[in-house]
Amino acid sequence: MSILVDKDTTFIIQGITGREAVTMARECLDYGAKLLGGVTPGRKGREVHGLPVEDNVLAFTSRTRVDAAVVSVPPGFAADAVLEAIDAGIKLIVCVTERIPRKQVAQFVEYAAEKGTRIIGPNCLGVISPGKTRVGGIGGAAESTRRAFKPGRIGVMSRSGGMTVEIANSLSEAGLGVSTAVSIGGDAIIGSTYAELMPLFDADPETEGIAIYSEPGGRAEYELADYMARSGSKKPIVAFMAGRFMDEMPGMRFGHAGTIVEGRADTTASKIANLTAAGIIVAEKIGDIPRLLSERLGK
Amino acid sequence: MRFYEFESKQILAKAGIPLPKSHFCKTPDQAAAAAFEVGGPVVIKSQVLSGGRMKAGGVKFADSPGEAAEHARAILALPISNLMPVGVLVEEKRAIAQEYYAAVTWDGRAKKAVIIFSDMGGIDIEEVAEKHPEHISRTHFSASRPFSDYIAKNAVAGVGVTGNDLNALTRIVAGLARVFLERDMTLAEINPIGKLEDGSIIALDAHMDMESEAARQHLDLLKELGVGPEEKRQARPPTQFEIDAERVDSADTRGVAGNLTEFDGNLGLIIGAGGGSLTLFDAVRAAGGKPANYCEIGGNPSVSKAANLTKLICAQPGVEKIAVMMNVVSNTRVDIVARGVVKGCIEAGFDPAEKIAIFRIPGSWEDEGFAILKKYGVPYVDRSVSMDEAARMAVENTKKKA
């Protein structure tokens, strides 16, 4: 098993004729993912790697089952694309686009919740269940992806797309492997937080432990700590907090849009204390994650 | 994008929120004329993008135009947190009976906008939250529906305010929430809101931040306020090094090689991307290294773009060596970055084998990249070496400098 996606997950790419989306489509196909085609308004009738391009999402959903959509359109059009996919009845939307103003994100996230649609991102690389499928650009070329993501026992959640791959690679090198990895997005408001994905990992028999990458800014780690206390979740979690240097630099933004220290609770020091109190192991070094998980898993 | 107090107040005035009489002044003479115009005691406030103005001596009181000019002269010359004011605000001084706090911001946890209201205004709101939680209300609201006044009323009533004050404060908070939504703010704060001795309620100080990503949708407002399209309004002004890096990044649209922040260490960093940069910067410091800069490379920068960034960093006085490190990359071609940093080193007049302390970028085309590094004698490691270990090697290597 895996979470969110499996080998039969069918999906489309909105904005498929864009330069990065064309590459992503190639990589997904090479990986064996069930990509059906994509949408670019005004480009109906074209093909990308032999797959159909349509003017709207309904052209796909009216004739076939579409489990997911990847939104890879410029920020000015992204909210519209997400709303279109929600109204077409798609239940999983991976929004890759970055720099969407947070008012628009709050609006479509609220609408998605009303309609029972799950959103991953924005500003993420997507979801992968190694050996089964990938939805998004995560891992890059299929061959690199296979090398960094070996099928295995650990679930990964990360605010950074790049660090999702780094952590997965270290887990693969250590022989632990990855059950499902989710690049959750680096924005201040995202569709699915750690705490919202945890129940899925808890219910997944393939996932024995979880690795988390986080950064200063926001309060998502407190929500995770609350979840752990409330749910009695037993799977070991190892978290890594990057950006410790930012604690001394309030008001400065580094990296992702959501990564800024605006209050005491945003700092790594405060988050680490809170996570530790909730029984989550906080790795001092990024390279320690596989060892700490192995110790907790007992082999 | 952060607004100055005088700009924030212009935005509030347009929203119909009552304010004290005030004038933005750039010279002591203007301040004297403004004080005369206001009539009576005034407060002179530094217009600077930094908190703690009172403590730093950036806020003073005057009873006469002459005194106002004198204070303005001192404040205009006074840097606060290394920032020079762009002017002073000369404002009528009013006797305050009670202070309130109101802010509207985003709550990433609830994924909604939130009104934070307190009847203990004028002081650090985090301190109020810790010590007097019963004096703070938090009221979430939808960004999808038109804002309705009752939400503001609930926020104000949430700390026990009633009577005429409830209605006056509701109007102010509702106006603030509407501006917040309409203008894509990330923060709209009035602290304090003052209840005067005559019972009227006005906004005494204001702080607004507009989301940079949305600024293009509000060019009308920015133009009206006189904010230039190139203004960044960071927490501190950019250094020359940072401006030069920005130029390298914007000169070539392929990939990212910039977003640089200057530090005062001796190890230049070429690191990426968002999360990788944070992790590597920490790792260098944890290994006892002193970074000369933070930066981000990602996507697929051209050879010349990577070379130009390398050249710029190598050319900084105090930079002894550079470390080129990334997480396992998905899209960036390792060989292109390798070629770029080697070229940049040579163009800056250095031997890449000496100048580059470590190269650690695993990913596509890495064999081709490693071949280039080998040819030039640059120390490199592959994905079997962790980011921490690579950072430690870079620091060690810098210590043994030639």
With CA atoms as reference, the chain B residue closest to A187 would be: B108
Residue % of chain A over a pLDDT of 90: 90
Q: Kindly list the domain boundaries of chain A, sorted by start residue.
A: 10-297
Residues 6+ apart with CB under 8 A from B164: B199
**What is the architecture, at CATH level 2, of domain A10-297?**
3-Layer(aba) Sandwich (3.40)
Q: Where in chain B is the domain with CATH 3.30.470.20?
A: 96-225
Contact B387 A160 (CB under 8 A): no
With CA atoms as reference, the chain B residue closest to A145 would be: B330
Q: Over the stretch A201-252, which tens digit does the pLDDT of each residue have?
A: 999 999 999 999 999 988 899 999 999 989 988 899 999 999 999 998 887 8
Q: Write down the pLDDT at residue B258.
A: 84
ipTM of the complex, rounded to two decimals: 0.94
Residue % of chain A over a pLDDT of 70: 99
Q: Which of B111, B213, B234 sits opposite A75 (nearest CB)?
A: B213
Count A/B contacts: CB-CB distance under 8 Å: 168
Banded pLDDT at A259 (limits 50, 70, 90): confident
Residues B302 and B343: beta-carbon distance below 8 Å:
no
CA distance B137 to B155: 6
Amino acid at A115: K
Residues B357 and B393: beta-carbon distance below 8 Å:
yes
**What is the architecture, at CATH level 2, of domain B96-225?**
2-Layer Sandwich (3.30)
Q: Write down the pLDDT at residue B235.
A: 65
CA distance to partner chain B, nearest, from residue A64 (Å)? 31
Q: Which residues of A touch B211 (CB under 8 A)?
A: 101-103
Q: Where in chain B is the domain with CATH 3.30.1490.20?
A: 21-92
Which of A72, A256, A266, A294 is the catalytic position?
A256
Q: Over the stretch B201-248, which tens digit does the pLDDT of each residue have?
A: 999 999 999 998 899 899 999 999 999 877 777 667 788 999 999 999
Q: Which residues of B touch A211 (CB under 8 A)?
A: none
Banded pLDDT at A168 (limits 50, 70, 90): very high
Residue B399 confidence (pLDDT) above 60: yes
Q: Write down the pLDDT at residue A232.
A: 87
Report the topology of domain B21-92.
Dna Ligase; domain 1 (3.30.1490)
With CA atoms as reference, the chain A residue closest to B392 would be: A285
Contact A75 B235 (CB under 8 A): no
**What is the architecture, at CATH level 2, of domain B240-399?**
3-Layer(aba) Sandwich (3.40)
Q: Over the stretch B301-328, which tens digit does the pLDDT of each residue have?
A: 999 999 999 999 999 999 999 999 999 9
Mean pLDDT score, B167-191? 97
Strand order in the sheet with A92-95: A47-48, A51-54, A34-39, A10-14, A68-71, A92-95, A118-120
Residue A91 confidence (pLDDT) above 70: yes
Q: Write down the pLDDT at residue B253.
A: 84
Residues 6+ apart with CB under 8 A from B253: none
- Dihedral sign, Cα of residue A18, residue A24, residue A30, residue A32: negative
Residues B282 and A260: beta-carbon distance below 8 Å:
no
CA distance to partner chain B, nearest, from residue A220 (Å)? 6
A49 in active site: no
CA distance B355 to B397: 10
Residue A261 confidence (pLDDT) above 90: no
Which residue in the block uniquely carries the two structure tokens 């099928």? Answer: A151
Q: Which of B186, B276, B298 sits opposite A166 (nearest CB)?
A: B276
With CA atoms as reference, the chain B residue closest to A191 would be: B111
Contact A162 B181 (CB under 8 A): no
Strands A68-71 and A92-95: parallel
| Three-class SS state of B165 | helix
Q: Where in chain B is the domain with CATH 3.40.50.261?
A: 240-399
CA distance to partner chain A, nearest, from residue B145 (Å)? 9
Strand order in the sheet with A126-129: A133-135, A126-129, A178-183, A151-158, A209-214, A237-241, A281-283
Q: Which of B144, B281, B328 sits opposite A110 (nearest CB)?
A: B144
Q: Over the stretch A235-246, which tens digit does the pLDDT of each residue have?
A: 999 999 999 999
